[in-house]
Amino acid sequence: MGILDAVFRKRHPEEERLQNIVDRLTFHPIRVIVSDDEQPEALSLLNEDGRELILISRGLLRHLSEDELYFVLAHEVAHHILGHLYVKFLTFQIKNAIMEAIRPKPSWFDRIFRGKTDSPWWLQIIDVVSEILLNKTILMEEEMEADIKAIELLKIAGFPLTGAYRFFRRLQTEESFMDELYSMIDEHPSPGDRLNNLLKHYPELAGNKI
């Protein structure tokens, strides 16, 4: 589903409730969209006009308890508040500019008679490797930062904080081998690392009193 389709289609019945939660968490005009995707997924993004969006899939909504939902939404809101999407955008713009600069530009003669291409195998490898490295460095840090900020936002808005601990504990136990494999190339740190990071800042999250 394209972003434009998502913006102009009929609103999902859950969207108004989710929008109210997000509006309580921030003054930023962030629009919540529920996608029909069955794959559990939540992400923050900017549309073509630079408008701030949070996309959450129906599959994920079905999996989350109420307090987990608060945490997941607060995490995505935090990405917007902390300006992460601009950092990501600029980082990849710069990477793409460098790729463009080193890309060979074969003449029409080389292209037709010698079969040369402007996207040889070594360039594709550099592209993939640099993408993984950028994800592993900048974007990993951002996940941890967004988790911390999410708790702060939930506290200020008066939402329960219990969802964070529950969410990561569940991810840890439900994480399959394939997820482990994906997490090696994905920008998200493991649930265990993220939980430990949160507990370092907010040890009270592990207690029963919240």
- Tokens representing residue 155 in the block: 């506290």
Q: Which of residues 124-153 bind Zn ion (CB under 5 A)?
A: 143
User: Which residue, judged by CB position, is nearest to Zn ion in the bound state?
Assistant: 143
Nearer to Zn ion, 101 or 184 (CB): 184
Nearer to Zn ion, 61 or 99 (CB): 61
Nearer to Zn ion, 132 or 140 (CB): 140
- What's the closest the beta carbon of residue 42 comes to Zn ion, in angstroms? 8
Nearer to Zn ion, 67 or 143 (CB): 143
Q: What letter would DSSP give residue 123?
A: H
118 contacts 104 by C-beta, under 8 angstroms: yes
Long-range contacts of 164-168 (CB under 8 A, 24+ apart): 164/71, 164/198, 164/205, 165/195, 165/198, 165/205, 165/206, 166/65, 166/67, 166/68, 167/64, 167/68, 167/71, 167/72, 168/192, 168/194, 168/195, 168/198
Total number of residues binding Zn ion (CB under 5 A)?
1
- What's the closest the beta carbon of residue 79 comes to Zn ion, in angstroms? 6
- What's the closest the beta carbon of residue 20 comes to Zn ion, in angstroms? 22
- Tokens representing residue 195 in the block: 């939980």
Q: Which of residues 26-55 bind Zn ion (CB under 5 A)?
A: none
- What's the closest the beta carbon of residue 27 comes to Zn ion, in angstroms? 21
Q: What letter would DSSP give residue 42?
A: E
Interatomic CA distance for residues 55 and 51, integer angstroms: 13
- What's the closest the beta carbon of residue 43 comes to Zn ion, in angstroms? 7
Nearer to Zn ion, 68 or 143 (CB): 143
- Tokens representing residue 45 in the block: 């993004």
What residues make contact with Zn ion under the rule CB under 5 A? Answer: 143
